[in-house]
A and B are shown apart, each in its own frame.
Chain A
Amino acid sequence: MKRKGSGGDIKSGRRAFLRGLGKAVASVSALMIGGAGLIGKKGASHAAVLKPDIPPIPDYDWTQHDWGYGIDATRCIGCLRCVEACKAENNVVPTANHFRTWVERYVWLEGEERPMVDSHSDPGNIAASGSEKEYRFDNRYQGKKIDKAFFVPKICNHCRHPSCVQVCPTGATFKTHDGAVLIDHDYCIGCQYCVQACPYGARFFDYERQVTEKCTWCYHRITKGLKPACVEVCPVGARIFGDMNNEASDISKFLRENRVQVLKPETGNAPTCFYIGLDKEVS
Chain B
Amino acid sequence: MPQHIVRLVVLLVVFFTTAVTAKIYFTDDSFYRYGHYRADSVPEMAAGIPKFRGTAYCQGCHTERHVQWTAGVHKVVKCEICHTPAGEHPATGKLPIPTDTVKLCTLCHEKMPSRPATQPQIVVKDHPYPHEDRLECITCHNPHSPSIGGLKPAVALAAQCAGCHGADGKGVGAFPGLIDKDAVYLTREMKKYKAGARQNPMMTPIMQALSDRDIDVLAEYYATLGDKSAAAPDAPEDGSSAVRQLTAKCVGCHGAQGQGVGAFPALTGKDAAYLHDQLRNYKSGVRQNPMMTPIAKGLTDAHIEMLAKYYATVDAKSAPAPTVAAPEANAKCVGCHGAQGQGMGAFPALAGKDAAYLSDQLRNYRSGARQNPMMMPIAKGLTDEEIGKLAGYYSSFKPSN
Contact = CB atoms under 8 A, between A and B. Distances in A.
Interface of A: 13, 16-17, 20-21, 24, 27-28, 31-32, 35-36, 38, 41-42, 44-45, 48-49, 52-53, 55-57, 60, 62, 74-81, 85, 88-89, 105-107, 136-137, 139, 141-142, 144, 146, 149-151, 171-177, 182, 184, 186-187, 216, 218-221, 223-224, 226, 229, 232-233, 235-237
Contacts of A149: 113-114
B41 A182 contact: yes
Interface residues of B, number: 49
A182 B13 CA distance: 38
B45 A31 contact: no
Contacts of A57: 42-43, 46-47
B16 A32 contact: yes
A174 B13 contact: no
Nearest to A46: B35
B47 A220 contact: yes
Nearest to A145: B113
Interface in B77-114: 77-78, 80-81, 84-85, 107-108, 110-114
Contact of B34 (A24, A53, A76, A220): A53
Contacts of B77: 235
Given A220-B47, A220-B48, 12 more contacts: A31-B17, A35-B17, A44-B32, A45-B34, A48-B33, A55-B42, A57-B43, A77-B116, A89-B50, A149-B114, A174-B35, A226-B54
Interface in B164-212: none
Contacts of B112: 78, 137, 139, 141-142
Contacts, number: 176
B37 A174 contact: yes
Contacts of A187: 37-38, 41
Contacts of A150: 114, 116
Contacts of A176: 34, 42
A35 B107 contact: no
Contacts of A172: 37
Given A17-B1, A31-B20, A78-B114, A53 B46 contact: no
- Please give me the 3 A-B residue pairs with the lowest Cβ-Cβ distance, nearest first: A220-B48, A174-B37, A184-B41
A27 B51 contact: no
B35 A235 contact: no
18 contacts: A28-B9, A32-B20, A35-B16, A35-B20, A38-B20, A42-B32, A45-B32, A52-B34, A55-B34, A62-B42, A74-B116, A142-B111, A142-B112, A146-B113, A150-B114, A171-B38, A174-B36, A235-B108
Contact of A220 (B36, B49, B78, B116): B49
Contacts of A78: 112, 114-115
Q: Does more than half of chain B's interface fall in helix, strand or loop, or is it mixed?
A: loop
A236 B76 CA distance: 7
Given A89-B85, A233-B81, A144 B54 contact: no
Given A35-B17, A187-B37, A220 B45 contact: yes
Nearest to B53: A226
B325 interface: no
Given A28-B13, A235-B76, A16 B1 contact: yes
Contacts of B5: 17, 20-21
Contact of A45 (B33, B50, B81): B33
Pick the most buried of A16, A17, A176: most chain B CB atoms within 10 A of its CB: A176
Contacts of A35: 16-17, 20
B127 interface: no
B85 A88 contact: yes
A36 B24 contact: yes
Contacts of B115: 77-78, 151
B46 A48 contact: no
Nearest to A109: B113
Contacts of B113: 107, 141-142, 144, 146, 149
Pick the most buried of B43, B46, B52, B108: most chain A CB atoms within 10 A of its CB: B46
A232 B16 contact: no
A233 B78 contact: yes
Interface string B111-126: 1111110010000000
B13 A31 contact: yes
B54 A28 contact: no
Contacts of A171: 31, 36-38
Interface string B124-160: 0000000000000000000000000000000000000
Contacts of B50: 89, 218, 220-221, 224, 226, 229
A177 B42 CA distance: 10
A236 B115 CA distance: 11
Contact of B51 (A76, A88, A142, A146): A88
B114 A236 contact: no
Pick the most buried of A31, A177, A220: most chain B CB atoms within 10 A of its CB: A220
Given A16-B1, A20-B1, A45-B33, A79 B52 contact: no
